[in-house]
Structure 1
Amino acid sequence: MKDELNKKRNLITMKLNFEIGDKVVSSSLITGEEGLIVDIRSQVPEGYQLIETEQSCFVINSTMSEGVYIKMVELKDKKPDSTRPENNLVKNTIHFLTNTDKEVSRTTVQGADKSKVKVMPPRGYKFASPMWNFVVISSTNVNQKMYVKSNGSTITRPSAKPVEELMVFQDTWQYSGYFTTFSTNTQIPVINNSGKTIYYLTNNYDFHVRQMANHAGQTFCQIADSAWVNITDMYEYQPIYTQITIKQDVYARLHDFRGNVVARRQLTPGTTWYTDRKMNIGSSTYYRVTTTTWVDGKDVVTSRT
């Protein structure tokens, strides 16, 4: 009965597999609408923590419903006071603005740095983009903007369009592809249809992009209604669920999402690795083996589902 209700509400259930090395030590389920960003730190088994390169938030994605694998390490210091995220809270001030940049209210929220916190709009207003009712807590950008509009009916002069309806994007075209945010910048700006920055994202947020457009000589991916990210702050990938085996005579180097060698560590010949996505750079194919590292397809001898 529960599964039938979830289908009617278009809810997706994802399985989180927490592993040490290649051994899964615990699993849990998260459920939500596609595109919902979920903080998974509360799901981490007691006595463990995510590795430094592992993302702490996942986007509900129908292509990953069969399961995602999350790398952990055992806690060396089991004292809860030094490991729990709530003991390292950062305060951010949220400025609620109209489409003319007039501030109508402000509030203060707190959370762990780079975590997602849900925000309620001020009384009498609703968010300009209903999907984005949250902020990503930042220790460097403590003042954040959120755009809202009146919750009541308004009279619109026929000779003028609301500012937010003025599209700055040109040459819009349909596109279907999977992208992840990744940039050397501390924060990745998300702009609305008017070209204004409405909030910021960090690395490793996944999106199914269905539309692209040009603006100011650059290409942008639409991640939600009136929400766009510069394609230079993202990389495209293909979701897969398989295992790859390293060639017997090769110590495989690890690369970043641009194909650059990033680590001294090498993968041992003949070892098998789980991969959840691949990407193409020129004529080369790369397979992801951790959240931020990839192995060159020329070093892979076999793959199996």
Structure 2
Amino acid sequence: MKKVITYLSVSIGLLFGLSTVANVTTVKADSTLPAGHYAFAVTRTTETTDQNGNLTLTILPKGSSWLINTEYDKGDQTFFQLAPNIVVNLYAGYVYMPKVQDLKVISKGPASLYDHNGQLITDRALAPGSEWYSDRVIFLDGETYYRVATDEFVLLSDVQEY
């Protein structure tokens, strides 16, 4: 019971902490992120650390999304500040830009789908001429992808915004 109360207290504190930084988005000058408003999607339940690398009590559940305040590198790893003194490693998920958009597949054949790492999904594709709703954009290896399902993305070159 004590763990549950502690977890809830920290979670509520984190949420209120996020509300204070929700309107501030700062990114390193040499960041690969385009200018704008970004979030972090958690792809596996993960622990967070403080800025010194010490574990915190905050656990981020798989499937949750968090506003990013700051991006920074420590050694060869990238971290994102989600709240005052709470950071998460890039390996726990992916960065995206929220963008609500209706899409239409313009490729002549089926449009390939990819996961958040840019890996081809081989057992599904989008039919030519089909219409899709997207709520986020990711940028990988110089390519832009729109999300059309939980972890399924289509290349910008295969769709048209409308």
Q: Which has the larger radius of gyration?
A: 1
Unpaired runs of 5+ in structure 1? 1-92, 94-106, 111-116, 121-126, 134-173
* CA spacing shift, 1:226–1:248, aligned 2, 3 Å: closer
**Structure 1 residue 182 corresponds to structure 2 residue 43:** yes
Q: Paired residue for 1:193?
A: 51
* CA spacing shift, 1:212–1:285, aligned 2, 3 Å: closer
Matches within 5 A, 1:20-99: none
How far apart, in 2, do the equivalents of 1:108 and 1:189 lie? 15
Tell me how far 1:209 sits from its aligned partner. 1.1
Unpaired runs of 5+ in structure 2? 16-25, 28-36
Q: Paired residue for 1:131?
A: 13
The 3-state SS of whatever aligns with 1:221 is strand
Q: Paired residue for 2:8?
A: 119
Q: Is the 8 A contact 1:250 1:299 kept in 2?
A: no
Tell me how far 1:108 sits from its aligned partner. 5.1
How far apart, in 1, do the equivalents of 2:93 and 2:49 lie? 14
* CA spacing shift, 1:130–1:214, aligned 2, 3 Å: farther
The 3-state SS of whatever aligns with 2:124 is strand
Question: How many residues end up aligned between the 2 structures?
Answer: 142
Tell me how far 1:216 sits from its aligned partner. 4.4
Tell me how far 1:179 sits from its aligned partner. 2.1
Q: What's the TM-score, normalizing by structure 1?
A: 0.42
The 3-state SS of whatever aligns with 2:149 is coil
Partner of residue 144 from structure 2, selected from 254, 267, 285: 285
* CA spacing shift, 1:284–1:269, aligned 2, 3 Å: same
Q: What's the TM-score, normalizing by structure 2?
A: 0.74
Matches within 5 A, 1:100-179: 107=2, 109=4, 119-120=8-9, 131-132=13-14, 174-175=26-27, 177-179=38-40
CA deviation vs aligned residue, 1:135-194 (integer Å, no higher than 9, x gap): xxxxxxxxxxxxxxxxxxxxxxxxxxxxxxxxxxxxxxx4253221224xxx31201234
Greater helix share, 1 or 2? 2
Q: Paired residue for 1:3?
A: none
Q: Is the 8 A contact 2:38 2:98 kept in 1?
A: no
How far apart, in 1, do the equivalents of 2:132 and 2:41 lie? 21
* CA spacing shift, 1:257–1:190, aligned 2, 3 Å: same
Tell me how far 1:293 sits from its aligned partner. 0.7
Q: Which amino acid aligns with 1:191?
A: T
How far apart, in 2, do the equivalents of 1:192 and 1:204 lie? 21
Tell me how far 1:219 sits from its aligned partner. 2.1
Partner of residue 206 from structure 1, selected from 40, 65, 68: 65
The higher-RCO structure (CA 8 Å, 6+ apart) is 2
* CA spacing shift, 1:215–1:275, aligned 2, 3 Å: same
Tell me how far 1:118 sits from its aligned partner. 5.8
How far apart, in 1, do the equivalents of 2:8 and 2:95 lie? 30
Q: Which amino acid aligns with 1:235?
A: Y
**Structure 1 residue 272 corresponds to structure 2 residue 131:** yes
Q: Percent identity?
A: 25
* CA spacing shift, 1:109–1:287, aligned 2, 3 Å: same
